[in-house]
Amino acid sequence: MLPKGADAADELSELRELSRTALVEPVAEMVQQRNRPDQKTYVGKGKLEELKREFADHAAEVLIVDDELAPTQQRALEDALSTRVVDRTQLILDIFAQHAVSSEGKLQVELAQLEYNLPRMRGMWQHLERLGGGVGTRGPGESQLESDRRMARRRISQLRSRLKGISAQRGVRRKERKRAEVPTVALAGYTNVGKSTLLNALTGADVSVQNRLFETLDPTTRTFDHDGKRYLVTDTVGFIRRLPTQLVQGFASTLEETLVADLVLHVTDATLAEDRLREQMAAVDAVLSEIGADELPVLVVLNKIDGLDPLARRRLANRFPEAQQVSALTGEGLDDLRERIADRFADRFEDVRLLVPYDEGTALSALYALGAPIEERRDTDAGVLIRAKLSQRDARRFAPYLVAGDDLESAATT
């Protein structure tokens, strides 16, 4: 169902892609445009009769609705069509269940599914729920239903507790990275815009890049070095219009990786029509705002420019003058992107000159372990001369070995 004046083709194209990812083959489509759904049956009475005829004519097995249905609306449609009805939220949950790989991802999917299904738990006990209240009507069906709900609530509590523990472990890792003052960049964007491909291109990772919605569920962090400095890049779950609330809540621990980033790369598909591109960007901004990440610095990255001609690229540059145009597939623009990321964090590093005596090899090893910050090394009679760019914290750590420029040249000629 669409509001009057909405673009049906655009909305249905996304539903088709979701269905394809869920391994469902659509056999027919139907659209009703009205300002608000029917409270009981979602569609109007006339459209419901038309839906019954079309459903039977096409021998369909499942009805997929591109909206989040209330439990009463879902049951009314199932009763009218005598078939299973899947709404948008349930369809996306099914896709997430297919793509969950890590133990954390599976826990998050299970939590989201339980929270979605809890108000819909009726199932085999629905015939007993029709009994009225009072003496003689409280049968085993009611007891079993309440038992199922209690078990679901208990499991939800357990899952939240386990995910909280995993989140705490991730927090420890984040503190370690913060202590090392390594700049952190988070990739955010609409699903299937090429975030994982960009992560692989920037860092040399090997994350799955299949052409499927929500291919990446678990946060993946990799590093890249630029001018002797190390940067962390984290890929997170893709966003989508009307991302179900259960998913935002269930994947809160995953989305935390965006919250603690120093910079967000908002990755977009440059080949989309401008209205579609802006709509997707607005959907991503809405989710970032929902999780509290809207105040972080953002750099828009227009990906897939290899599919555009020079004129289209100039138009994009005029519309998004601050954005970075790249092709994660061909590598075009990636060096400029790394340079822009480095410029954002230039004030975190300072040029230092160190003289490390030969009998203090441990200090030299610790210096190299920071992530290849060495710009120049010379062996002298007094020790190893080092030119490097270090974070302010690391510069203080190696303060005993600091030498001025004149002292460095003097030591080099000793």
- Pairwise CA distance, residues 352 & 388, whole Å: 5
DSSP secondary structure letters along 298-345: EEEEEE-GGGS-HHHHHHHHHHSTT-EE--TTT-TTHHHHHHHHHHHT
For residue range 194-224, what is the model confidence (pLDDT) as tens digits?
Answer: 998 999 999 987 876 666 666 666 678 888 9
The number of angstroms, rounded, from the C-alpha of 301 to the middle of its chain's C-alpha atoms is: 15
pLDDT at 406 over 70: no
Q: Which of 144, 235, 171, 169 is nearest to 197 (CA)?
A: 235
pLDDT for residue 321: 94
**What's the domain count of the chain?**
4
Question: Which of helix, strand or coil describes residue 113?
Answer: helix
- Pairwise CA distance, residues 259 & 199, whole Å: 18
pLDDT at 398 over 90: no
Contact 1, 33 (CB under 8 A): yes
Task: Compute the mean pLDDT over every residue in the chain, rounded to the nearest whole number.
Answer: 81
Query: Both 253 and 313 in a single domain?
Result: yes
pLDDT at 178 over 70: no
pLDDT for residue 304: 96
The band of 312, judged by pLDDT with boundaries at 50, 70 and 90, is: very high
Query: Both 118 and 203 in a single domain?
Result: no
| 12-16, 300-304, 328-332, 399-403: segment of lowest average pLDDT | 12-16
pLDDT for residue 309: 95
Structural tokens at position 169: 């472990």
Query: Both 148 and 264 in a single domain?
Result: no
Query: Both 88 and 220 in a single domain?
Result: no
Whether pTM > 0.85 for this model: the answer is no
Q: How many residues does the chain have?
A: 414
Q: List beta partners, residue 62.
A: 84
Query: Both 223 and 337 in a single domain?
Result: yes
In a domain, 171, yes or no: no
Query: Both 331 and 208 in a single domain?
Result: yes
Contacts of 371 (CB under 8 A, 6+ apart): 182, 223, 225, 229, 230
Question: Which of helix, strand or coil describes residue 19?
Answer: helix
Q: Exposed/middle/buried for 301, CB within 10 Å: 0-12, 13-18, 19+?
A: buried
- What percent of the chain has pLDDT above 90? 26
User: Domain range for residue 364?
Assistant: 348-412
Q: Which of 344, 365, 394 is the last residue of a domain?
A: 344
Query: Both 284 and 400 in a single domain?
Result: no
Planar angle of CA 155, 159, 163, nearest 5 degrees: 175
pLDDT for residue 46: 92
Query: Both 198 and 126 in a single domain?
Result: no
Q: Exposed/middle/buried for 124, CB within 10 Å: 0-12, 13-18, 19+?
A: exposed
